Amino acid sequence: MNLISISDLGKEDIIRLLDSADAFQARRGGHGEPLKGLSLAMIFEKPSTRTRVSLEVACEELGGHALYLSASELQLGRGETIADTARVLSRYVHGITARVYSHHTVMQLAQHARVPVLNALSDWEHPLQILADLQTMRQRFGRLEGLRVAWIGDGNNVCNSLLLASAILGMAITVASPPGYVPKDQILEQANKLCGRPKVVIEPADAANGADVLATDTWISMGDEGQEAERLRVFGKYQVNEGLMRLAAPRAVAMHCLPAHRGQEITDEVMDGPQSAVFDEAENRLHTSKAVMAWLMGQK
Ligand code: CP
Ligand code: NVA
């Protein structure tokens, strides 16, 4: 089994993974070695701090070995195909994770690999991030079903995975994005089919009103750098700040997958304030990565 989209998982799978992540967190250093003797190849076409470090440390702490492979230093960078790379790596390692520009690349890897493939971020989804976000929300609120989630900003990869997860888990999500930057119809239709009722609005305040979670992300994702000037102009009011937090529920939390552009999509006051969950969210990348690898790659 692969984890390419968060929708590769059903509700029961997600709950089981979150229970496992909580257990890994509670017993850090004291858990067994379900990845003993196993290796994970980690292909990166783009930079990373959290994903790379959390996966690498998670793998080591579970007894396995992680190999960081910059795509430009692999023969991939000289034209070897994705399919052949997947076939060859499958002869050496027990799992492959990849951070790629095009979602098609990670789908091709999964098609040709004989070991589990984990999407470590594509232009379409970021499922590993959303598992950490769900763990964080459940820890804060004690439940997921019925939570009111507001996404403020770009209808991007992280937003897509959160939309699908909300549909799977029965959370009510409202996305506030500027016209032209709302989530694609394909994702909204998929969320509808999963029985979600995602709402898309233009005004950040309309999404934030009464929400339990205010989530955001950079206005300029990796790969969007060429549109920087236009995006800075369009996204100006899509900022999670103290004014927006006041519209949310009294115990609401602010979330951001990081890296943050302080002063753009989120202010220092919110990032560093009492309602911020962003560093717990970052920590939970470690625990959820362990849960995913132990499940998909581990000794049964
Ligand atoms: N949130 C996240 O994926 O961070 P990195 O880009 O640092 O891996
Ligand atoms: N949307 C961001 C997420 C970074 C973790 C990007 O794709 O760059």
Cα–Cα dist 82/220, whole Å: 27
Helices and strands, counts by H and E, the chain? 12, 9
CA 170 to ligand 2 centroid distance, Å: 25
Cα–Cα dist 279/154, whole Å: 21
Q: What angle do CA 263, 236, 230 make, to 5 degrees?
A: 115
CA 272 to ligand 2 centroid distance, Å: 21
In short, whether 51's Cβ falls inside 6 Å of ligand 1 is yes
Number of residues that this document lists for the chain: 300
Cα–Cα dist 82/75, whole Å: 10
* Residue 60, both tokens: 């080591």
Q: Which atom of ligand 1 approaches the CA of 47 most closely?
A: 6
Considering every ligand atom shown, identify the ligand nearest to the alpha carbon of residue 279 and give its number.
1
Q: What is the β-pairing status of strands 213-216 and 148-152?
A: parallel
Our mutation pick for probing the ligand 2 site, out of 51, 54, 156, counting the most ligand atoms within 8 A of Cβ, is: 156
CA 47 to ligand 2 centroid distance, Å: 10
Cα separation values, 232 from 152, 154, 237, 263, Å: 15, 11, 10, 12
Strands (E), 39-191: 39-44, 65-70, 95-99, 117-119, 148-152, 172-176
SS3 118: strand
Task: Please report the domains of the chain, with CATH numbers, ordered by start residue.
Answer: 6-125+285-297 (3.40.50.1370), 129-281 (3.40.50.1370)
In short, whether 90's Cβ falls inside 6 Å of ligand 2 is no
pLDDT tens for the chain, 300 residues long, are 999 999 999 999 999 999 999 999 999 988 889 999 999 999 999 999 999 999 999 999 999 999 999 999 999 989 999 999 999 999 999 999 999 999 999 999 999 999 999 999 999 999 999 999 999 999 999 999 999 999 999 999 999 999 999 999 999 999 999 999 999 999 999 999 998 889 999 999 999 999 999 999 999 999 999 999 999 999 999 999 999 999 999 999 999 999 999 999 999 999 999 999 999 999 999 999 999 999 999 876
264 and 239 Cβ atoms separated by less than 8 Å: yes
- Catalytic residue numbers read 99, 126, 129, 217, 257, 285
CA 250 to ligand 2 centroid distance, Å: 29
Residue whose C-alpha is closest to residue 255's, from 271, 235, 267, 274:
271
Residue whose C-alpha is closest to residue 96's, from 76, 151, 247:
76
pLDDT at 29: 83
pLDDT at 300: 61
In short, whether 129's Cβ falls inside 6 Å of ligand 1 is yes
34 and 60 Cβ atoms separated by less than 8 Å: no
DSSP letter assigned to residue 298:
S
One-letter amino acid of 147 = L
Q: Is 89 left (phi over 0), alpha (psi -120 to 50) or beta?
A: alpha
Phi, psi of 56 (to 5 degrees): -65, -45
Q: How many other C-beta atoms can be found within 10 angstroms of the C-beta atom of residue 155?
A: 21
Q: Which atom of ligand 2 approaches the CA of 224 most closely?
A: 8
In short, whether 53's Cβ falls inside 6 Å of ligand 1 is no
SS3 167: helix
Cα–Cα dist 147/128, whole Å: 20
* Residue 189, both tokens: 């239709």
Q: Which atom of ligand 1 approaches the CA of 46 most closely?
A: 6
